[in-house]
Structure formats: C-alpha cells, structure tokens
A and B are shown apart, each in its own frame.
Chain A
Amino acid sequence: MNTWIAIILAAVAVYSWKIIGAYVPQRLMEKPVIARIAGLLTVALMAGLIGIQGFTSGGQLHADARIPALVVAGLLTWRKAPFIVMVAAAAVVAWVLRAYLGWA
C-alpha cells in the first residue's frame, strides 16, 4: 500500500469516531461495556507501542540504551515534567550512552 493512501485512510478513520460521537444516539455510546473497552483500548495500544518501541528492533527482542532512557522518561513523567522535556531527556540519555559509553 502507498503511504499517502494509508495516511488519508487513517485520517478519515480517526475522524469517523468524532462524527459518530456527534451523530449517534447518546445511549449507544454510553453503554458501560462499550465505554470500558474504549478506555482500555487506548491504554492497551499505547502500552503495546511502548513494548515495541522500547524492547524490540526489526521484529526481534532487543535490549539497548532505550531501556535506561525509558526509566528516565518514566521518572520525569512521574515528577510531572512537561511532555517535551521528558521526550527530549529520553533522547539525550540514549544518545549519550551510545556516543560516549559505547552502548548499543
């Protein structure tokens, strides 16, 4: 599939929820089971992405400088650091470990 087509399809797909919410009867969206799945989906997909982005590389398990970077990111998030500071700090930790300490 072409990347452009994927971008357009994904944008339409994301927008579709906003439209559905604005037009479908309120009762349907507020069923507890639907609301629960929706909330947990967000959590599960993001957690899955942390796993993929943090601990795998090219489809293989892979532990490297990203792990200490993630620990720092977690600590900073817990200490309520701004999002961009936390993300930049993670990059710096990984970069320093690789460039100066020879980590993978």
Chain B
Amino acid sequence: MANSSSAEPTRRDFLYVATGAVAGVGAVLTAWPFIAQMNPTPSALALGSIEADLSSVQLGQQVVLTWRSHPLFVRRRTPKEIADARAVPVASLIDPIARNANLPDDAPATDENREIKPEWLVVVGVCTHLGCTPTFNEGDYGGWLCHCHGSQYDVAGRVRRGPAPQNLAVPPYTYLTPTRIKIG
C-alpha cells in the first residue's frame, strides 16, 4: 500500500467490517437473554381475572380487592356523589381522557365514561404518580387522597390535584349478574 487513504476499499477493509459486524451481532445476541430474563415471566404475565360479589357493599362504602397484585377499589356511590361527579366539566380536568379499558382510548373523562353502572365505580387503586395506594374518602374532592405526594382524586377516580398525571385506571370488567362482576 503506497497510500493508506486510497479511494478503493481493499479486501482488508472488507474483512475488518465483516469481522466487526459478526462480533457486534454476536455481542447483542449474547447480551439479550441476560437482559430479557428480568422481564415478567409468562406466569406473571398470565392475566389473572377475579370475580367479586357486590351485594354486601353499602351505599357510600368501598371494598378493596386484589387484582394483578394491585389493590382494586370498588366504590358504591351515593346519588349526591354521582350528581357532583357529573357536574364537573371535562375541560376543567387535569386528565381529560377516561382511561377506561372498556372504552376507546380517546374517550373523554366524563363521569358516564368512568363506570358501567353509575352507582359502581371500579378502579385500580394505584396512584398514577408513583404507585402508592390512595386513602378512601379524604382530600378536597370527596374521593381519594394519596399521602405519598398529595395527589387528590374525585368520586369518579379522576385526578383533580397533581402531581399525579392521569386518572385512576378503570380495568376491563363485566357484570355477570346485577350484583356480581368479573374483572380482567
């Protein structure tokens, strides 16, 4: 080689690139199992579904169930709570999206879109800020207060004061009988 900066790629250049490429792909393929092993196992991923009987829940009460290892709030709302929640204009909400797994992704966060039957609110009891469990019937909006960082939710589980960015998630659920629901 008289000139190392010759324009033509040489056979050696090709060998360098090819060797590097094989080694690079090999390194990625070797690393992947060591990274992927940390993802949830299939048994953890298998979506658990639970059934719950609501007949014993009194007006104004909530029961806490466990679903996918998280608390699940089932709240029986009073007529006044329902009326209050429906009077809130969607435009005034922090998160205007319903976050209801039973509805399209862009459904607005009206109270009607947050439950199947007005009396029963079913939400995942995980604060959308950093995952604490909010406390029932506390805060300025009659719903829940998260003690960790002060987020507040109304009786439709919609976030009304930050730092939480989203409404409490409504899980997929159906009514099996008028007083029995299946979640998941």
Chain A complexes with chain B: no
Interfacial residues, chain B to chain A (CB-CB below 8 A): none
